[in-house]
Amino acid sequence: MSQLSGLVMHVANNLSDVSRRRLEHDVMHHEGVASARFNKTRPYFMVVEYDPQQINSFEIMNEVNNNAVNTACLRQHLAGSEKPDRSPSNIMHET
């Protein structure tokens, strides 16, 4: 994999834990996706780290929307971009 990019999505608040795990699993099975997980303290945030040379953010959001979940892209952290303090990995660990 090349340098990873990140995508933070706001996902429907009414998803059950089982639905969240299933969605993480479905997104993770795409080639180029390194991780897909929900924030433990903010369960409406889903963060996906991916290789932009293998998959793009539109394909990832499409997968989420195909699971009958409404989503909105909040932030896309592209490989090599500045602002590391608000990268998707850091957002996942905020309390």
66-88 tens-digit pLDDT = 775 666 555 555 555 544 444 44
Residue 2 confidence (pLDDT)? 75
One-letter amino acid identity for 70?
N
DSSP letter for 18, please. Answer: H
Per-residue model confidence as pLDDT tens digits over 38-54? 998 988 889 999 999 99
At residue 61, does pLDDT exceed 80?
yes
Walk me through the domains of the chain, giving residue ranges and CATH numbers. Answer: 5-92 (3.30.70.100)
Q: What is the rounded CA–CA span in Å between residue 70 and residue 48?
A: 16
Q: Residue 37: which of 65, 9, 75 has the closest Cα? A: 9
Are the C-beta atoms of residues 20 and 37 closer than 8 Å to each other? no
